[in-house]
């Protein structure tokens, strides 16, 4: 299940998974954009498009239920949502904080709460939260982004320990810059191969793809700031 699959890192991740033979559930707001990605990935019964607003609690419940009905299981969740608009601390009021959390942190946690029990029943799962470097190191004019991303990272570490016993890992990716139409994988950037290699080093991954090999999954460490797990099954 890939959120934000219509463009950018979500689109690149969806294409990467399909190229390796995964059945995928693609979600974003715009059906036509998702259908374009589905066609580009080869289409067929193993690509399921579910458009909607991930900030809606009812849609999130419908998305998980639809995925279970279609494929009978959920092995991988890619949480991917945009952060809040730039702004300084002085320009931020309490309502802005609430809105920022409801756009990213709340959907991530709600989907994990729905999907993790499904994964635990199958004794396998990979949950990946797309976060951002600003959650690790503040940047000028990006107060809310840093706040939200730091919260996602902290929650991910907590949940990684909780679900490790079920062979369900929860990890974060802190990507650098990437183009909105990247096609070569989730580590693509508009700055070219050298910048892509620097981005991979920043995230801590030594391979250009987060699914570097085939074979049965193994139990991963409970927590990490970057994501370099073994390849999921489906």
* Residue 213, pLDDT score: 32
* Residue 135, pLDDT score: 83
* Residue 133, pLDDT score: 87
* Residue 52, pLDDT score: 97
b/e for 136-148, b at 16 or more Cβ within 10 A? Answer: eeeeeebbbbbbb
Pair type for strands 24-27 and 2-3: parallel
* Residue 28, pLDDT score: 97
* Residue 180, pLDDT score: 60
**CA gap 195, 189 in Å, rounded:** 7
Q: Which residues pair with 79 in a beta bridge?
A: 129
Task: Just give the CATH number of 2-203.
Answer: 3.40.50.720
Which two structure tokens, joined as six digits, stand for 72? 């009978």
**CA gap 168, 222 in Å, rounded:** 9
* Residue 125, pLDDT score: 97
For residue range 162-211, what is the model confidence (pLDDT) as tens digits? 999 999 999 999 987 666 655 444 433 333 333 333 333 333 333 333 33
Which two structure tokens, joined as six digits, stand for 228? 């370099």
Render each residue's pLDDT in the chain as its tens digit; 234 residues.
999 999 999 999 999 999 999 999 999 999 999 999 999 999 999 999 999 999 999 999 999 999 999 999 999 999 999 989 999 999 999 999 999 999 999 999 999 999 999 999 999 999 999 998 888 888 999 999 999 999 999 999 999 999 999 999 999 999 876 666 554 444 333 333 333 333 333 333 333 333 333 223 333 334 444 333 333 343
Which two structure tokens, joined as six digits, stand for 70? 């279609």
The alpha carbon dihedral of 211, 213, 214, 217 has a sign of: negative
The whole model's pTM is what? 0.78
> In this structure, what are the phi and psi dihedrals at residue 191, rounded to the nearest 5 degrees?
-90, -5
- Kindly report the average pLDDT of the chain as a whole number: 81
**CA gap 2, 26 in Å, rounded:** 5
Strands lying side by side in the sheet with 47-49: 47-49, 24-27, 2-3, 76-79, 125-130, 168-173
Q: Under a CB-based contact definition with an 8 Å cutoff, are residues 122 and 169 in contact?
A: no
Which two structure tokens, joined as six digits, stand for 151? 């919260």
């Amino acid at each position: 299940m890939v959120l934000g699959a219509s463009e950018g890192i979500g689109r690149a991740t969806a294409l990467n998974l399909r190229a390796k033979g995964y059945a995928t559930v693609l979600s974003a707001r715009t059906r036509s954009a998702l259908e374009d990605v589905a066609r580009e990935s080869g289409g067929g019964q193993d690509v399921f498009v579910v458009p909607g607003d991930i900030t809606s609690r009812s849609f999130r419940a419908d998305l998980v239920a639809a995925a279970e009905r279609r494929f009978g299981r959920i092995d991988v969740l890619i949480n991917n949502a945009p952060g809040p608009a730039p702004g300084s601390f002085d320009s931020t009021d309490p309502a802005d904080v609430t809105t920022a959390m409801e756009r990213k942190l709340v959907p991530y946690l709600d989907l994990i709460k729905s999907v993790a029990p499904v994964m635990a029943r199958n004794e396998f799962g990979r949950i990946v939260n797309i976060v951002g470097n600003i959650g690790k190191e503040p940047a000028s004019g990006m107060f809310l982004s840093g706040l939200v991303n730091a919260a996602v990272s902290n929650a991910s570490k907590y949940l990684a320990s909780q679900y490790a016993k079920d062979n369900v890992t929860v990890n974060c990716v802190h990507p650098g810059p990437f183009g909105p139409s990247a096609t070569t994988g989730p580590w693509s950037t508009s700055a070219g191969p050298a910048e892509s290699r620097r981005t991979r080093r920043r995230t801590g991954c030594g391979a250009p793809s987060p699914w570097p090999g085939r074979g049965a999954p193994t139990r991963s460490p409970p927590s990490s700031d970057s994501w370099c797990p073994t390849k999921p099954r489906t």
